[in-house]
Amino acid sequence: MEPGSYTARLSGTTASDSRELDRVCEEVARAMHEEGTEPPFDVASSNFATDPFLICADRYWRLRFLEHPSIRTAAACSLWIAAHVSREARTEVWEKWSLGYAFITKDSVESAVELSRAMEEIVSRDAPAGDVAYFATLYHAGKLRSDFRFDELHQFLDSSLLALAAGVHRQSALFTALRAFAAFGSPVITAEHAVGMLDQAWSSPDRTRHVVDICLNGLQFALPFAGHGELLRDRAAEAVGDHPGDHMFHFRLASGLHMTGDHDGALADIDTALRLLPALGSRGSHKLLQEQYLAKRDAIAEGRLRAARDLEHRQRLGEQDAHHRERWAQLEEELHRRGEEQARAHREGQETARANHVRSVELVAVFTSAIAFAVGSLQVTLTGDFPLRDRLFMIGAWGIAHVLFALLVVGGTWLITRPRR
């Protein structure tokens, strides 16, 4: 088929019929791939939904990468972008293709030897070596990112010849975001360093949707650190505010809300992500993403149920604790009352015993005085030559003395044993 026929057929499609547009773009892309012809047309926009030329070119390079998933193919793709994609759309196409094709070919990571052999070919291209090396670096780094090989990604970005050949592109927000992603998952890099690089990429004026996605991806799969969930939640909420129709950002936000215990909010956002997830995708797997989202939804629902059960359990424990406290207070009050009664009874018993003892002493004193008076009076009466008058006087004096003695004993006993406050 002549190159002009490709352009003519694509020009005859309309964006209103999405099924027809998809079918025509797929057929033209396969025809070019089978004939070994790169797309001869130019791409003026970054609209992957309605631009037939961009959709067709996307399908073509997808077939090329699936057939030869190497940085050589990435270099060829980079050269085509530089020649056929407008400057306004180039950044979006560059990032979307490099990372998207890396995801669908993540099972074919090239070794260090393969990278070294391909490196010579890449830097000898007529196009600026930095641009080609940067696209190839993003492609290979995207594979390592998709496989969560954090340490290999960190080493590749920092010291590989391919990444070093990217030149000034190493300062880009996307490159920094990939470095932050690698740092978040590495056990040898501190969380503070990773957060610092994330902040640098996040605050960059060149921040794109893909920069945000990589930053959130790194946060979601980072090793746990203080404030982890809160940081993911806040950054994902900001991303959703900027891109409300992006299913991936709603998924990241649901993960952050789940980590911070907001299960209701997480459930609402994961449902939104499932609703926004497109049924088809040329660089990603709809089925894989759907399974991932559904697994997260199950985890959120399970966490929500567990939290409700824990709350019910804590409430039940609180009620039991309050009941036990009430019973203990009642028991303490009862013990205190019984203690007071026993103490009062003991005091009354002691006072009664003391009173009885005092009465006994007084009774003995009075009885002793009476016996002594009787004996003394009898002796005075039966013996001696005293006249009656003297005897009566002596008996009276004797009785008065014993009465005084008895009163003295009784008074002294009362004085000694009287209650004292």
pLDDT tens-digit readout, 26-63: 999 999 999 999 999 999 999 988 899 999 999 999 99
pLDDT (tens digit per residue) in 160-170: 989 998 989 99
| Residue 418 DSSP one-character state | S
Instruction: Give me the percent of the chain exceeding a pLDDT of 70.
Output: 81
Rounded distance, CA 267 to CA 301, Å?
7
Rounded distance, CA 377 to CA 396, Å?
9
3-state secondary structure of 320: helix
CB 280 within 8 A of CB 261: no
Which burial class, exposed, middle or buried, applies to 336 when counting CB atoms under 10 A from its CB (0-12, 13-18, 19+)? exposed
3-state secondary structure of 172: coil
3-state secondary structure of 85: strand
Q: Indicate if the pLDDT at residue 240 is higher than 90.
A: yes
pLDDT (tens digit per residue) in 293-347: 999 999 999 988 887 787 777 888 888 888 888 888 888 888 888 888 888 877 7
Q: Name the one residue in this structure whose structure tokens are 């940067």.
A: 134
Specify the pLDDT at position 282. 47
CB 186 within 8 A of CB 150: yes
SS3 per residue for 127-162: CCHHHHHHHHHHHHHHHHHHCCCHHHHHHHHHHCHH
Specify the pLDDT at position 61. 96
| Residue 109 DSSP one-character state | P
Rounded distance, CA 390 to CA 397, Å?
10
Residue with the bigger pLDDT between 151 and 373: it is: 151
User: Residue 161 CA to chain centroid, in angstroms?
Assistant: 39
Q: Pinpoint the alpha helices (H) of 147-225.
A: 150-159, 161-164, 173-185, 191-202, 209-220
Q: What is the mean pLDDT of residues 258-275?
A: 94
What's the one-letter identity of residue 25?
Answer: C
pTM higher than the cut 0.85: no
Rounded distance, CA 51 to CA 41, Å?
12
Specify the pLDDT at position 340. 84
**Gyration radius of the chain's alpha carbons:** 51
| Residue 169 DSSP one-character state | G
Average pLDDT over the chain reads: 85
Strand partners, 85: 43
**Cα–Cα separations (whole angstroms), residue 289 to 28, 277, 280, 414:** 28, 8, 11, 102
CB 237 within 8 A of CB 269: no
Rounded distance, CA 204 to CA 173, Å?
6
Residue with the bigger pLDDT between 280 and 267: it is: 267
**Helical pair 209-220 and 247-259, crossing angle rounded to 10 deg:** 30
43 φ, ψ (degrees, to nearest 5): -120, 125
Which burial class, exposed, middle or buried, applies to 215 when counting CB atoms under 10 A from its CB (0-12, 13-18, 19+)? buried
122 Cβ neighbours under 8 A, 6+ residues apart:
71, 72, 75, 129, 132, 133, 136, 162, 165
Q: Indicate if the pLDDT at residue 382 is higher than 70.
A: no
Q: Name the one residue in this structure whose structure tokens are 């773009």.
A: 25
Q: Indicate if the pLDDT at residue 213 is higher than 90.
A: yes
Q: What is the mean pLDDT of residues 64-90?
A: 94
155 φ, ψ (degrees, to nearest 5): -65, -40
Rounded distance, CA 344 to CA 340, Å?
6
What's the one-letter identity of residue 38?
Answer: E
Q: Which of 18-22, 43-47, 383-387 has the highest mean pLDDT?
A: 43-47
pLDDT band at 192 (very low <50, low <70, confident <90, very high): very high
CB 131 within 8 A of CB 78: yes
pLDDT (tens digit per residue) in 9-18: 888 777 677 7
Closest CA to 194 of 249, 164, 143, 232: 232
CB 240 within 8 A of CB 249: yes
59 φ, ψ (degrees, to nearest 5): -65, -40
Rounded distance, CA 226 to CA 23, Å?
50
